[in-house]
Amino acid sequence: MAAVRRAVAALAEGKDGALKLAALHVMTTLTGSVLIALALAQGRLSFDEAWAAAHVDEDYQLRLWGSDDEAEARRAARLAEMRSAHEVFVALAS
């Protein structure tokens, strides 16, 4: 847990720290995991890898039971929001 605190604290440094934390918060909320969000932020996972890791169970359930239009629309909206948050983070990190 201390490593996570240090990683988040490092992101908060600098003039864009608050915006980076806001983007990290969105990515954490959408993936359900601060570890996945940090791995993405630090470049240890690609966007697609992070998204897939965050949805292992959901993807399994889709394969098992199938999908419906409402669930697909919600997932597409979450994906778009995740992509936007990641793009903001990347732009700030440059």
Q: Taking a C-beta distance cutoff of 8 angstroms, is the pair 7, 38 a contact?
A: yes
Tell me the percentage of the chain whose pLDDT exceeds 70: 100
pLDDT digits over 6-28, tens only? 887 777 788 888 999 999 999 99
Name the token pair of 67. 């999908």
Residue 13 to residue 76: CA distance in whole angstroms: 32
**What is the distance between the alpha carbons of residues 9 and 76, in angstroms, rounded to a whole number?**
31
Counting every residue, how long is the chain?
94
Handedness of CA 39, 91, 13, 16 (dihedral sign): negative
User: 43: helix, coil or strand?
Assistant: coil
CATH for 2-93 is: 1.10.3580.10
Residue numbers of the chain with a pLDDT score lower than 50: none
Per-domain residue ranges of the chain = 2-93
